């Protein structure tokens, strides 16, 4: 049984934020990552979808804040199971909304989202639990709503991180099998629109994966079609 990542993220929250937001601006240094986020939120903005995006596993809110700046017409909300991360997010971005939520329980009304972002947060869900997590995401999205995932790729193996963010805490992250993620998305009812695996860029040590998917029709259901 994996250690609950909440306790680890509570412990590392301040140092995680400092390393990725203060000592350097990780997102500013990654134009390709910003391009994924820009394209994702542009698909929600003004598309006739609910103008609401959930950053699921938002951590200290750096990507929540980035999306909110990029699409002022969209309400961007962050959620995370770690209260330490949420405290950091609220302190840094008092004008944004943050709430407790997780892949198993995103804490939003069914069908209420135009977009759902999982930016390096699905990496803490054991692969056997991923199909159910993606069904939760499907249910939270409006028909035609968009899902963007980013993650480290591999063969779905769990890796015990060594002194994550300088702390002696137990934290397991999965390197997701991109093909398996696509299969799980399609089984949940998503249409996968783009999928990319790219080589690591220092200080990354593993290839990275990105998947953009749209809520379509769940196999065997009488659900609505894509608009
Ligand atoms: C590597 S951090 C990424 C944080 C943020 N998305 C970012 O890019 O800065 C992983 C985040 O996932 C959250 N997390 C862990 N388990 C989760 C779950 N079951 N559902 C949603 N988020 C989870 C952690 O609390 C942590 O904030």
Sign of the alpha-carbon torsion through 15, 17, 21, 27: positive
Rounded to two decimals, the pTM is 0.95
How far does residue 168's CA lie from ligand 1's centre (Å)?
18
In order along its 227 residues, the chain shows pLDDT tens digits of 456 899 999 999 999 999 999 999 999 999 999 999 999 999 999 889 999 999 999 999 999 999 999 999 999 999 999 999 999 999 999 999 999 999 999 999 999 999 999 999 999 999 999 999 999 999 999 999 999 999 999 999 999 999 999 999 999 999 999 999 999 999 999 999 999 999 999 889 999 999 999 998 666 665 554 54
Alpha-carbon distance 122 to 2, whole Å? 14
Helix (H) / strand (E) containing 32: helix 31-44
Nearest-10 Cα torsion for 219, 79, 115, 134: -20
Ligand 1 site: residues with CB under 6 angstroms? Answer: 5, 9, 56-59, 62-63, 80-82, 85, 102-103, 119-121, 124-125
Mutate which of 2, 59, 62, 171 for ligand 1 pocket (most atoms within 8 A of beta carbon)? 59
Kindly give the pairing relationship between strand 113-119 and strand 52-56: parallel
DSSP 176: B
Tell which atom from ligand 1 comes closest to the C-alpha of 118: 6
Alpha-carbon distance 28 to 21, whole Å? 9
Distances in whole angstroms, Cα of residue 132 to Cα of each of 32, 141, 183, 220: 29, 15, 13, 17
Q: What is the pLDDT of residue 109?
A: 97
Q: What is the side-by-side strand order in the sheet with 52-56? A: 97-100, 75-80, 52-56, 113-119, 141-152, 208-215, 190-198
How many beta carbons lie within 10 A of that of residue 129, not counting itself? 13
Domain ranges of the chain: 5-215
Q: Which CATH class is domain 5-215?
A: alpha beta
Q: What is the pLDDT of residue 127?
A: 98
């Amino acid at each position: 049984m994996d250690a609950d990542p909440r306790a680890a993220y509570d412990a590392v929250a301040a140092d995680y934020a400092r390393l990725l937001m203060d000592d350097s601006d990780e997102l500013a240094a990654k134009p390709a990552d910003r391009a994924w986020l820009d394209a994702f939120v542009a698909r929600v903005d003004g598309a006739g979808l609910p103008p609401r995006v959930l950053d699921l596993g938002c951590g200290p809110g750096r990507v929540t804040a980035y999306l909110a700046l990029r699409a002022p017409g969209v309400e961007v909300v962050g959620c995370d199971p770690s209260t330490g991360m949420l405290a950091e997010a609220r302190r840094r971005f008092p004008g944004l909304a943050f709430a407790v939520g997780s892949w198993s329980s995103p804490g939003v009304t069914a069908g209420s989202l135009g977009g759902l972002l999982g930016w390096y947060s699905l990496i803490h869900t054991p692969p056997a639990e991923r199909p159910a997590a993606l069904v939760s995401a499907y249910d939270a999205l409006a028909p035609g709503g968009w899902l963007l995932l980013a993650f480290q790729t591999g063969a779905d193996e769990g890796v015990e991180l060594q002194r994550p963010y300088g702390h002696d805490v137990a934290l397991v992250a999965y390197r997701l099998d991109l093909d398996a993620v696509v299969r799980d998305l399609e089984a949940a009812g998503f249409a996968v629109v783009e999928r990319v695996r790219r080589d690591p860029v220092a200080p990354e040590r593993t290839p990275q994966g990105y998947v953009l998917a749209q809520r379509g029709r769940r196999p065997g259901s009488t659900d609505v079609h894509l608009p």
